[in-house]
Amino acid sequence: MASENGCKWNKTALLVIDMQKDFVLPGAPMLVKGGEAIVPNVIKTVEVARSRGIPIIWVVREHDPLGRDVELFRRHLYGDGKPKPTSKGSVGAELVDGLVIEEDDYKLVKTRFSAFFNTNLHSYLQGIGITNLVIIGVQTPNCIRQTVFDAVALDYERVTVIIDATAAATPDVHIANIFDIKNVGVATPTLEEWCRSKEQ
């Protein structure tokens, strides 16, 4: 993995959360209305992270087609004739165009809002010496927020949310959640600001 910044970013990982077709594309069953607009910034963030030698962790939902591992409030979406969002192996579970999992990347499957809940994420990050996290994707009030608050609770030294590479159903919801996230000590730069930063 090439790096333009040597060891400056060697304790940082990028989490790309739920940038899947069933959440982002128009007409998708779980559409986050602000999701499509951030795709170029998500692509750019990944490119910059790769150039800095930052590990990329693709956090995705992949559910049992019968909905047996889905939250109770969503199980009605997995009956006969229902859309069955992000079912394992479905087109809707794929990343949107422009986002590609490369050989050195890590894919993490979750079934709840937080990327840490009932997954091996924390142990994986500890194993590769990560103390700082950069988080992007959808959506701000659910998976972004809960992952961020869990990262704070787990004492990651620096947690960053790139505010124009994350999105919610409306700008107001996004802004309100960024306000809360910032109030627990999380950095909230724009993509341009993060690209100019010299260290995590």
Q: Please list the active-site residues.
A: 18, 110, 143
Strand partners, 16: 58, 136
What DSSP state is assigned to residue 133? E
- Within a 10 A sphere around the Cβ of 103, how many other Cβ atoms? 5
Residue 16's SS3 state is: strand
Which strands sit side by side in the sheet containing 132-138, from one edge to the other? 106-110, 56-61, 12-17, 132-138, 158-167
- Tell me how far apart the alpha carbons of residues 199 and 183 are, in angstroms, rounded to a whole number: 21
* Cα 85 from Cα 65, distance rounded (Å): 8
SS3 103: coil
Indicate the SS3 state at residue 102: coil
